[in-house]
Amino acid sequence: MNPIRVGLLGLGTAGGGTYDILLRNREEIARRAGREIHVVAAAVRDLAKARRRVGDAIRLGTDAQAVVDAPDVDIVVELMGGIEPARSLILSAIAQGKHVVTANKALLALHGNEIFAEAHKRGVMVAFEAAVAGGIPIIKALREGLTANRIQWIAGIINGTSNFILTRMRDLGASFADALAEAQRLGYAEADPTFDIEGIDAAHKLTIMAAIAFGVPMRFEHAYTEGISGLTAQDIRYAAEFGYRIKLLGICRRSGAGFELRVHPTLIPERRLIANVDGVMNAVLVRGDAVGPTLFYGAGAGAEPTGSSVVADLVDVTRTHTADPDHRVPHLAFQPDRVTDLPVLPISEVETAYYLRLRALDRPGVLADVTRILGDRSISIEAMLQRQPETGEVHVDVIILTHRTVEAAMVEAIAKVEALASIVAPVVRIRLERLDA
Ligand code: NAP
Ligand code: HSE
């Protein structure tokens, strides 16, 4: 059988990794796919750099549309990133009846509803395994392996850059800036690293997982997002004293008539496997009603882990592109006419436990005032620690762990606590999840 022919849009970290794997494992991949997969053309911005990487083996140009339009390109692989021109190029490929593979989670989270609707109309596949958790086949697992289950919740470490930064800060005492620079050098970070450190990239990935898990449209605009740039080494240390680690978690959970969709730094018990996922590694904990908890672990970023997922999609498309579109696995796991638009719960209505750090005057009655404010709002304290003041110091750190409460009650309580004359700095508040049943 003739090889299937691929046009790459982008030959950077992800594109380069994909290209290298397709060359190195050519034979093995062909044995699995049923035919060879050949890259015939690629579009880049810097031709000289790309030429140094791939020599004369493929057609290179700066016109991405020309790659999409090329009659000898069967599958378009979009690995350039960003919203435009990636969106228009993908829609153009779909309109021409070409299958698409992409790693572009930002694009899918924002425009996935439009892209998948067009792909469904044209009967083409848009595959996106690399868009979530790099090399971990979590899309396949959610869409196929766990298809018997009603998914109850997902909690994931789904941004390698921020996990790498948190690990370096905790283990080596590295500064935030140095750890970020190292992640950028290693090719983990997004073109705009704010996406990584402010939780936006994780929210893109969470949006995609929630859609597949719950059979809902992409609702990125309703995701709650809080990053790691405000975290201090001091809170990482205090959390450890209570037996917790702080991770940037993406959490989606069925809740009442809707679902939660939130990304924020989170204390998790250090005895949980997921609390020990360090460096650029990602992990996704999925709880299904039949299977119970399942944990998926692997490299969340980098050239070859990302390429591994892109090539898996290419093999899938190669195997099934001649199948009747109605008999393929639906893009978002649920049949398109059975996707239901459920409401996303506002963060003020979400229920979690909390870690609070207060800077207080060391004098009688302070703790009584604080506990009364919490008690008045039915916020129950689980543990408390007061540090001895340094010699000559009149202020002390008070750490409180609470049981679960609604966020709105905690926001109100914090405002009251901060208004006390004995509290001398803003209260640090980090959400806490035990990740049990
Ligand atoms: P990258 O290293 O910056 O590579 C981007 C590539 O696209 C480069 O080859 C660039 O060309 C080319 N490009 C960009 N705009 C172009 C345009 N208008 N016309 C032609 N070529 C253009 O980015 P990356 O890290 O590989 O990320 C690519 C995508 O994969 C993004 O959506 C990202 O979110 C996703 N992703 C990345 C990773 C990862 O670990 N890096 C993991 C999962 C998903 P030049 O090199 O000539 O500038
Ligand atoms: N910037 C992303 C991360 C790349 O650090 O996880 C993988 O999606």
Instruction: Give the whole-number percent of the chain exceeding pLDDT 70.
Output: 100
Mean pLDDT of 267-286: 97
**For residue 286, how far is its CA from the centre of ligand 2 (angstroms)?**
20
**For residue 180, how far is its CA from the centre of ligand 2 (angstroms)?**
12
Residue with the nearest Cα to atom 12 of ligand 1? Answer: 10
Q: What is the pLDDT of residues 144-162, one digit of tens each?
A: 999 999 999 999 999 999 9
Indicate the residue type of 422.
S
Structure-block tokens of residue 266 = 């989170």
**For residue 57, how far is its CA from the centre of ligand 2 (angstroms)?**
29
Dist. CA 252–CA 207, nearest whole Å = 8
Would you say residue 324 has pLDDT above 80? yes
Domain with CATH 3.30.360.10 in the chain: 145-298
| C-beta neighbour count of 421 within 10 angstroms | 8
Residue 389 confidence (pLDDT): 79
Residue with the nearest Cα to atom 4 of ligand 2? Answer: 301
Mean pLDDT of 190-215: 96
Reported pTM: 0.97
Dist. CA 137–CA 63, nearest whole Å = 31
Would you say residue 390 has pLDDT above 90? no
The single-letter DSSP state of residue 329 is: P
Mean pLDDT of 82-88: 98
First to last CA, the chain: 50
Annotated active-site residue in 49, 205, 247, 416: 205
Q: Do 234 and 212 meet the contact criterion of CB atoms below 8 Å apart?
A: no
Query: Omega into 389 within 30° of 0, i.e. cis?
Result: no
Helix (H, G, I), strand (E, B) or coil at 18: helix
Instruction: Give the whole-number percent of the chain exceeding pLDDT 90.
Output: 89
Domain with CATH 3.30.70.260 in the chain: 349-432
Query: β-pairing, 244-255 with 258-269?
Result: antiparallel
**For residue 181, how far is its CA from the centre of ligand 2 (angstroms)?**
14
Dist. CA 273–CA 403, nearest whole Å = 22
Closest CA to 11 of 71, 66, 55, 72: 55
Q: Is 300 in the pocket of ligand 1 (CB under 6 A)?
A: no
Residue 174 confidence (pLDDT): 85
Q: Do 127 and 313 meet the contact criterion of CB atoms below 8 Å apart?
A: yes
Residue 342 confidence (pLDDT): 95
Thinking of the domain 4-135+303-338, which architecture would CATH place it in? 3-Layer(aba) Sandwich (3.40)
Domain with CATH 3.40.50.720 in the chain: 4-135+303-338
- Residue 10 pLDDT level (bands cut at 50, 70, 90): very high
For residue 300, which ligand has an atom nearest its CA?
Answer: 2
Q: Is 108 in the pocket of ligand 2 (CB under 6 A)?
A: no
Q: Which residue has the tokens 């870690």?
A: 355
Indicate the residue type of 319.
R
The strand ranges marked E within 145-304 are: 151-157, 224-225, 244-255, 258-269, 281-288, 292-299
**Among 107, 201, 277, which is best to mutate for testing ligand 2, by the most ligand atoms less than 8 A from CB?**
201
Residue 7 confidence (pLDDT): 98
As a whole number, the mean pLDDT across the chain is: 96
Active site residue 416: no
Q: What are phi and psi of 35, to 5 degrees?
A: -160, 165
- CATH code for residues 145-298: 3.30.360.10
Q: Is 135 in the pocket of ligand 1 (CB under 6 A)?
A: no
Q: What are phi and psi of 228, to 5 degrees?
A: -105, 0
Would you say residue 44 has pLDDT above 80? yes
Question: Which is the CATH superfamily of the domain at 349-432?
Answer: ACT domain (3.30.70.260)
Residue 107 confidence (pLDDT): 98
Residue 113 confidence (pLDDT): 97
Q: How far is CA 252 from CA 22, 76, 276, 335, in A?
A: 34, 31, 21, 21
Q: Is 64 in the pocket of ligand 1 (CB under 6 A)?
A: yes
Residue 148 confidence (pLDDT): 98
Dist. CA 274–CA 277, nearest whole Å = 5
Dist. CA 359–CA 322, nearest whole Å = 65
Would you say residue 187 has pLDDT above 80? yes
